[in-house]
Chains A and B, each alone.
Chain A
Amino acid sequence: MDIPPPRPVLDPTTARVEREFKHVRPLIGCRFDPSGRFLFATAEDDSVQRFDLLTGTRTAFVGHTSWARGMAFVAPNPTAAPMDASAWQKAQAAAQSLVGFGVAALPAPKAAPFTLVTADYHGKLIWWQGDSDAPKPLKTVAAHDGYARAVAVSPDGATVASCGNDQKVKLWKAADGTAIRTLEGHESHVYNLAFHPNGTRLVSCDLKGVVKDWNLKTGKSERDLDAKILTKYDPGFMADIGGARGMAFKADGSAFAVCGITNVSNAFAGVGNPLAVTFDWDSGKAKQLKPKDAFQGTMWGVAFHPGGAVLGAGGGGQGRVWFWKGDDPASAHVLTVPANARDLALSSDGARFAIAGSNGTAYVYNFSGTGPVPQMPKKK
């Protein structure tokens, strides 16, 4: 495996499937660990799966008794250096050529220790040793009444934040899971949250598209930002649809993004259009990022690529990954992925992204430009 260094400017047309991890049950969420070596994916069998991109091994994290989606990592500070996959692989290849195939492979290098926190439908947060060979729940916290939809870890690794259907945002000590504070103010299910990179603020977004900007010193919301374009009360079915299915901050803190579904004409069939909304941090000004294709479905994940582009992933009848560059509100590139993308993960160095497939497969993409060209969406 020979991966070129991240390009300063992302070329989305070079995205290729690097790896597929098939699981027996549909996947829900996915995240790369801070080093980028592991892809974690949650599944409909209540498990969290760890896929080792280096060795291809898979490890199940069993402990939730419900579906989990939210995942966040507490890594040693400063964050571990990006995985150097090439060194071990080169050594492995060299060993095999020397001794011949069939001999025991070189043991893979140990990963630096890190903690994984996951959140489930029963409102539980579980702390895990993320790099463990035999992972077990280290700590389980009954965090929310109802679905705990998302977790995030502060940039300094000291605080875990969670949110859920009890309309609350809660802060926990990352070290031991003790409760720090509850942030109250949302008036509907809180769907997602993210720490500002400067560590002083936390944003959260609820079902009704209300984004709150929490001052972590005071525990008060400094402002409400409007993402109501991502929500709708469907009068036909008499139910609400919306909320931030994905949320991400730009590394420099100058913007954050939320994503979901807009223009819903039929909530119960999921008829609407995927949409990402970015907010300029200082002005609070919103900008819509729309797929270039006339696609119906939900955007389940959004990420800022270090190279400057924004990625979104989602699905309806099919799966898609969209790329936006510069100021163009319409996506610059559309990638058809093999399954409904229920989440998007981007490695911290921007070298890879992955989607959690509704078909149970996690697809890991790199920007190698080699290998089969991904199928382009059919023109309508």
Chain B
Amino acid sequence: MSALSRFVAAVALLAFAGPILGADPLHARIDKQIAAGFGANAKHIAPRAGDDEFLRRVYLDLVGTTPTVAELNEFLADSAKDKRAKLIDKLLASPGHARRMAWHLDVMLMERGADSKVPRAAWEAYLVAAFAENKPYDALVRELLSADGSDPKTRPAAKFFLDRNLEPHAVTKDIGRIFLGRNMQCAQCHDHPTVDDYKQADYYGIQAFLNRSFLFPNANVPTAVIAEKAEGDVSFMSVFDKNKKLNSTAPRMPGGKPIEEPKAEKGKEYKVAPAANVKPVPTYSRREQLAGAVTSAENKAFARNAANRVWAMMMGRGIVHPVDVDHGNNRPSHPELLNELAAEFVAHKYDMKWLVREIALSDVYQRSSETPAGLDDPPADRYLVAIMKPLTPEQFAYAAMQATGHTDAERAALGAKWTEAQLDARLAPRLGPFRAMLGRGGDATADTFSSTLDQTLFLKYGSAVRGLLTPRAGNLTDRLNKITNPDAVADELFAAVFSRRPTADERKDVADALKNTTDRGKTINEMVWALVASAEFRFNH
């Protein structure tokens, strides 16, 4: 396809998929589509979440931590009708949102693998900067898939490839999973036996973009960069094929047309010819075609998967679920909604912040997670009740620091001129143990969550949590120690940790505990721990 025809096609697609003039905003259409799927359960849907429930949820989802007591009080006291929308906009505009999205994208892209060639700090800084400027998602992915690591300025973007050592099967599989929502691992050896959509030729079509690329000088060098040869094709043979026929394919996206490749003129295959200790540069680069092919509007799987992933981040499960198993035998729970989200995401130029905002504004997002009476074991894919999402290790760490007042104490220590960046620089170093312990094997979703013995013991006896409980000026235990009225203790405790008011029963529990204690400080410490270790805190409910 020529550049001109590509441009025409893109314009045509854009026109086709453009925002529907005069239509309801997306969040309203989301609610229509979801409501259409209620069926017989329509009368059992959970009510709108209370302000406190909404506040905690939206803080965790948008900025990755819980609100301060002051923020809670302010929000609860606010009588404005549009206070939720205002809060959403405030959070989306805050530095915390870029940090939260960077955490999310880091795990999505790197899946908590070991950092090898691109250091964590540079990578996180790159992602934070991208979200701070709300870089369109397609542009971000183009950077990830085109950087070769040779320019120090763009080297962090090459982490996706470099830290996978550009291992052909790893990168092929992960491009399929992470950007197209298709886990085609089986197709490495044969067409998927039960999934008609996953073809071996599709798998190798992706691999063909990269089969000429390699790490220079070699994968063992931490500063290695991506280099490419001018020749070489993928070949594959089904393990089921008795005739052992060897196949090949030009680079192409699954279901798409092969890239038309220029015929290399003899002797002019290279800009820089291969030689010992020389990084070759081919005249025509297959790898350079990859970023465009993946993010092309023709490659519908890209926007569809991206929209589905943002949905899953906010809602606790994908419309296609799991998010990397998009195929005919695993239907979306709401196919039209997914199409609409994808089309709107493209129409809004892959604006992640916009998509997050629309979802956050929807009724379905703002539904309570309390199971209404008469609804037993609601089917998760109907969204009758908000799904409780386990906090990610980063959310847990930041929420625990906020809940225990560690964040407050650090902020106070910075003085009146504190900045978010300064505060974050003090908090981020404490992430390590939480990531290492709670983040094993990627991030758990609501239906893959478990807490292993070591994780629970880490919360129970480990120093990372207990270290936050020691009284210091301005932290929660310090504040509670200074409050004499038991009800006021309960109010501050529940506001700080659970972002809500205590119930009468809870106030009584606190009062009883304080009445019977011989060591008030210790009892306060125990209560803070109990709240932090509770299910209510562990989940974004």
Tell me if chains A and B make direct contact, with any CB pair below 8 A: no
